[in-house]
Structure 1
């Protein structure tokens, strides 16, 4: 059994916020790359990798100056309350473990900006995470989550939220109050409808709904005029809202999962919509615009 412990202290020029990439690598992409850079100077990074490890060594909870902590891709079953001692943490990566719950003490991490807790066994998440008011990126994909606490509406700085590959039937109400979201991934859930409250997410640029059970896109989605990618592929859509032509920042009918644009081809759309969409976005939008004018 091999153990790898790395601790690195780096100094760099102060930068505004965190840089990360939205790597759209395939149709099941998590879209938020785990490779993060540029925490404010100075920073201390610590990575712990131990094959089949079920516990974190206690000494880690005494590394109070750590700002980036990587515990990903172990076999950790739990994170102890001692996590709350690491008050300087900016980036916490717990991806790819066997974690069933996160400790309430995570709410003590007042400097936390990025949390990866994807690919675990979480059924819910603690209300106390809403106390991390600096949080900008939250990835909870590939878990067993069916909802979020209402208190998460307090995460007003959150810009990226990944809830894909969970058990969500209804989009959590708190999401519609996260008005700084520019990235929202809800793909591969059990969502059947979208609330009109989606109109409140005016900053959204990337909205992924693929592989759900959605039959209708609400008219209110057409008010999200900042959208550059709207992926509603592999749903049960048979029609489209007439006002969809308002989404002028969508560059094309997209077929490649990594492309920006409107992803709708893989739905049971009736003609003429399917035929028009096959001809390109301009043709589809012109049809919807003309149809709207005649109403």
Structure 2
């Protein structure tokens, strides 16, 4: 009985890996805007079936939660891909041919074993969302400063000691996650990210926040929990979109627990963000 069930399961999985498994949908605008999606999630795949690289009209491909350790150069043939999900595999690198995916807007490559990102990724000029969290990255190639439309970048849980230089050229960024790395500081050049709304640098070894961070006035969520911060820049009160001291991970506001703040900052925080900002503003010499 168990043998029959195993056979039936294998047969079902094999059917899911065939070209016929591609789901085809049509938009209201007609067949010329036809989109195609293929999902091979949680199938224990160790190698992508060759026919997948022949599905040249694919726009969404989900290969997440499998056992892939490499991807072939043939990935570059899928030039219509808009969303590519490679998360939860065993990838140590991405093929340089990924640079041929000129329509790619969303790339999930988190939860792998990546030690580097190919320079050619910079050729994916339409990229808007890039998740590289939970890998083994220490740096990003400088060429990624060409990703002019990137809005969301997740580099959390890697081995990064300095925010990569290319990041400060990504002027459209509104979300940056560099938590759980090896940061000891945030570069003064953070001021160039004027559209940044969410900055997460929790679980690092940051000792101080740069004064220039206070000019990023679009910030609505600043998470510096679990660092080594003793003092705060006097101009922090200029981040007026931080509405409260936040406790829940998903809350907007200022996250600043588990830092060795010098007195009287802990007392100010206990009184709320308004009290903290009043204290810093008075300290800055701007009595209101």
Q: 2:82 aligns with which of 87, 90, 107?
A: 90
Residue 222 (structure 2) pairs with residue 230 (structure 1): yes
Q: Give the whole-Å Cα distance in 2 for the aligned partners of 1:179 and 1:52.
A: 39
Between Structure 1 and Structure 2, the one with more helix by share is: 2
Q: Give the whole-Å Cα distance in 2 for the aligned partners of 1:194 and 1:184.
A: 12
Q: 2:243 aligns with which of 218, 241, 251?
A: 251
Runs (4+) off by over 4 Å? none
Residue 23 (structure 2) pairs with residue 8 (structure 1): yes
TM-score, normalisation: structure 2: 0.91
- Matched with 1:169 is 161
Question: Contact 1:242/1:292 (CA < 8 Å) preserved in 2?
Answer: yes
Q: In 2 relative to 1, CA 41–104 (structure 1 residues): closer, same or farther, beyond 3 Å? A: same
- Matched with 2:265 is 273
Question: Contact 2:42/2:64 (CA < 8 Å) preserved in 1?
Answer: no
Residue 186 (structure 2) pairs with residue 186 (structure 1): no
- Matched with 1:74 is 66
Unaligned segments of structure 2, at least 5 residues: 1-8
- Matched with 1:205 is 197
TM-score, normalisation: structure 1: 0.89
- Matched with 1:216 is 208
Q: 2:147 aligns with which of 146, 152, 155?
A: 155
Q: In 2 relative to 1, CA 62–253 (structure 1 residues): closer, same or farther, beyond 3 Å? A: same
How far is 1:50 from its partner? 5.5
Unaligned segments of structure 1, at least 5 residues: 15-39
Helix, strand or coil for the counterpart of 1:230?
strand
Question: Contact 1:10/1:41 (CA < 8 Å) preserved in 2?
Answer: no
Give per-residue Cα distances to partners, 1:166-217, cap 9 Å, x unaligned: 0000110000010000000000000001110000000000000000000000
Larger CA deviation: 164-173 vs 2-11? 2-11
The structure that has the greater radius of gyration is: 2
Larger CA deviation: 4-13 vs 187-196? 4-13
- Matched with 1:30 is none
Question: Contact 1:265/1:277 (CA < 8 Å) preserved in 2?
Answer: no
Q: Give the whole-Å Cα distance in 1 for the aligned partners of 2:281 and 2:170.
A: 31
Task: Please report the RMSD computed on the Cα atoms of aligned residues, expressed in angstroms.
Answer: 1.5
Q: How many residues align?
A: 270
